[in-house]
Amino acid sequence: MTQAPTSGAAEPAPEKRGAGFAHERSTGSLARRMMLIAAGWISILLLVGGLALDHALSGIVTRNFDEQLGYMLTGMIGSAEIGPDGEVFFNRPLGDQRFLEPNSGLYWQIRGKGHEDFPSRSLWDRSLAVPDDHFDAQLHVYDSNQFPGEPLRVMERSIILPGSNTKWMFTVAASRAENNEQIKMNRAILLYSFVALGFGLLLMAGMQTWYGLFPLRHIRRAIQRLRTTGSARVSGPLPREVEPLVEELNALLAHNERQAEEARTHAGNLAHALKTPLTVVMNAATAKAPDLADTVIREAAVMRRQVDHHLARARAVGRRAAGQSRADVWPSLEAVLRAVERLYDQTRFDLDGNHDAVVALEKQDLEEILGNLIENAAKYGGSSVFVTVDAVRDSSLCEIWIEDDGMGIPEAERIRIFDRGARLDTGKPGTGLGLAIVRDVVEIYGGTVMLDESEDLGGLLVKLAVPRASS
């Protein structure tokens, strides 16, 4: 007996099964993806919307500012006249008091070529730099920075007053400080409002993501309960979008249950099939029978056939899942009949029906099924066996009828005869597994097998229905 090493180095802990695989295959969090998409779109929409709204509000403020300047310029033009000396004057004072206050931020000026400038008192010792080499028949509005520290909004228009040939340039200017302050205040309100709106929308998106993904957490807990409590299905009220996923999951669970049940049935069939040969060998060995060697060889051959059959049946499950099974019925029937005719040379076998029928079974499994059914018909029937392919025309199933002229099976026994080991005639050799194995293999492929009474021959009628292969 070897002693375990006593070194201080600890053995590495075994890795958690499946953890590395799950980590490698992970594509990230759904919640994080949804939040990133929401944050990106919210940011883009708020940015574009904010810029558009800022442009619109700034335009409104500027237009209102220009309208006020326009009213003042119109008042100037309406009050202007030409005096006896040819100079311009106002026949009434302008209404805004700021025109009288020096450096008030609101100014006017009238300029004519060959005449002195006529400015407002608010200009004091300054003048508006207005070019006099052009004629503005329409309003001309622009920004000017001619006064240091006082940006201006300037509006001008050229007019020829009655009684004068001079092109007079009427100009009114106002400081843009008030206009800029209003725009700045609007932008601050927009910024705070849109930031608050953005946080609110992100919070809403987060709550929506949490609430929207909650059913997935419910499914996760349900799957955990499958492992811990042995529940067979994921149940509970779920949103319509998640129901297909749960249905597929439940279908997978049902499929696994069927697979497990098939495995248990398969193991039981194999155990039952091997039990009788092993008992025969044990009894012969215990009694020291003189034909012990022949008995062992014979029963070993039986066991080998059973093992080969059940191995083939297990492979049929995998082939069925792959969806690649395909077999021609007529050649398989002919091959089976050639083998059965050697054993029952006094029985007449007849075939009829569709020569081109193709079913979704493996050829080996189809021949095993047909071999069991036709051999039983020959063994327990009379002297005639009749096989019909596509006895009932159906688009999805191919029905194969096997009839004999024997005694048949009472209707009350037709269900029990499919049980493992069930035999009605114990006087003839057999294990009682033939029909049970046929039923199991047929059901693996999604088919059915039923027993009835033959109207033509009077004996047993076996109705085998198996899926037709897709073209």
Minimal CA–CA distance to 368: which of 312, 415, 304, 421? 312
Answer for the pair 437, 375: CB distance below 8 angstroms, yes or no: no
User: What's the pLDDT at 132?
Assistant: 66
CATH architecture of 325-471: 2-Layer Sandwich (3.30)
Fold for 30-212, please state it.
Beta-Lactamase (3.30.450)
CA distance 107 to 100: 9
Count how many Cα atoms sit within 13 Å of the Cα of residue 50 in the half-sphere of its side chain.
19
| The token pair that represents 251 in the structure block | 């279908």
Report the pLDDT value the prediction gives residue 59, as an integer from 0 to 100.
92
Provide the 3-class DSSP secondary structure of residue 164.
coil
Question: Which pLDDT belongs to residue 210?
Answer: 86
pLDDT tens for the chain, 471 residues: list them: 444 444 444 444 444 444 444 445 666 788 888 889 999 999 999 999 999 999 999 999 999 999 999 999 998 888 888 888 888 888 888 888 888 899 899 999 998 888 888 899 999 888 888 776 677 778 889 999 989 889 999 999 988 888 888 888 999 999 999 889 999 999 999 999 999 999 999 999 888 888 888 877 777 777 777 777 766 777 767 777 777 877 888 888 887 787 777 777 777 777 877 887 888 888 888 888 888 888 888 888 778 877 766 776 666 665 555 456 789 999 999 999 998 888 888 889 999 999 999 998 888 888 888 998 998 888 888 789 999 998 777 778 899 999 998 887 777 776 767 654 444 444 444 444 467 778 878 888 888 888 888 888 888 899 999 998 886
> Quick one: three-class SS letters along 190-241?
HHHHHHHHHHHHHHHHHHHHHHHCHHHHHHHHHHHHHHHHCCCCCCCCCCCC
Say if 30-212 and 325-471 have the same CATH topology: no
Please count the other Cβ atoms lying within 10 Å of the Cβ belonging to residue 91: 9
Cβ(377)–Cβ(411) below 8 Å: no
Which among 432, 441, 378 is positioned nearest to 405, based on CA atoms? Answer: 378
Q: Where are the domains of the chain?
A: 30-212, 325-471
d(CA 281, CA 14): 47
Residue showing tokens 């209102």: 64
- What are the C-alpha distances in Å from 452 to residues 23, 223, 446? 57, 45, 20
**Tokens standing for 438?**
């046929």
Would you say 329 and 398 are in contact if contact means Cβ atoms under 8 Å apart?
A: yes
CA distance 449 to 460: 13
Residue matched to tokens 């091959």 = 335
Helix, strand, coil percent content, the chain, rounded in steps of 5: 50, 15, 30
Short-list 391, 408, 389, 399, CA closest to 454: 408
Contact, 375 vs 460, CB < 8 A? no
DSSP code for 16: P
User: Which two structure tokens, joined as six digits, stand for 393?
Assistant: 């025309």
Beta 348-353 vs 384-389: how paired, if at all?
parallel
The continuous run of DSSP H or E covering 112 comes out as strand 106-112
State the DSSP H helix or E strand holding residue 23, giving kind and residue range, or none if neither. helix 19-25
Return phi, psi of residue 413, to 5°.
-100, 0
